[in-house]
Amino acid sequence: MAYTTTAELKAYMNITSSADDTQLGNAVTRAQALVDSFTHRTFEAAADTTRTYTPLLFNDGGDLMDYDTLYLSADLFSLTSITNGDGNSVTLGNVVLLPSNVKPAYGIKIKRGINLEWNYLVSPENAISVVGRFAYTTTAPADIVAATLRIAAYLYRQREGTPDSDRAILSADGMVLASPQIPKDIYTLLRPYVRRSI
């Protein structure tokens, strides 16, 4: 899925011609990749995906924060199923997502008093399977859409600049035609969404 579309970018930039639709679409794709790279997140999930985890403590090369808590390598917006390392399904009522009552989740904790542990049979590497929507949310927030549009517009305009330009390009009458870097207000939009590792 895309945080924005070529049609939305054209409307944002007041472009009516379809002559550059391929370039505009490429700008949208690159802008979304830049947003994800800067924030260390994905902001939409249209379908479930599966990720695997190793039931060993961090110090032993695994994904366990402690013996009860599995750390997720990506945001989890909704959980569908878990298969423990021994091949058994984990009843979702026996676990809680962390943080409690806030999405997205960064971990899955076994509830206290439950006779369950993260385990494996033969090899621990990638023994646990978690199925769900791995994203910040299922639909990109308005700030992310705005930042993606702004970056895509910037990237599209940059195509006419020289790749080694280190300053703004000026027209004959002194108007700035291209900025040498991504507009700073975009960082203001993105900074609150940056994913911090624990």
pLDDT per residue of the chain (198 residues) written in tens, 0 to 9: 689 999 999 999 999 999 999 999 999 999 999 999 999 999 999 899 999 999 999 999 999 999 999 999 999 999 999 999 999 999 999 999 999 988 999 999 999 999 999 999 999 999 999 999 999 998 999 999 999 999 999 999 887 664 444 455 555 666 555 555 677 889 889 999 999 876
Distance of CA 136 to the CA centre of its chain: 6
Which residues lie below 8 Å from residue 120, measured CB to CB, with a gap of 6+? 55, 85, 86, 127, 128
Query: How confident is the model at residue 169, as a pLDDT?
Result: 58
Q: Where are the alpha helices (DSSP H) in the chain?
A: 6-13, 21-39, 142-158, 184-190
Query: How confident is the model at residue 174, as a pLDDT?
Result: 62
Joined together, the tokens standing for residue 161 give: 């600049």
Which residues lie below 8 Å from residue 155, measured CB to CB, with a gap of 6+? 27, 30, 31
Query: How confident is the model at residue 179, as a pLDDT?
Result: 54
State how beta strands 49-53 and 128-133 pair. Answer: antiparallel
CA dihedral 140, 52, 107, 93 (to 10 degrees): 100
For the chain, give the number of residues. Answer: 198
- Backbone angle region of 175, left / alpha / beta, with phi > 0 → left and psi within -120 to 50 → alpha: beta
Which residue in this structure is represented by tokens 């999930």?
45
Joined together, the tokens standing for residue 123 give: 């090899």
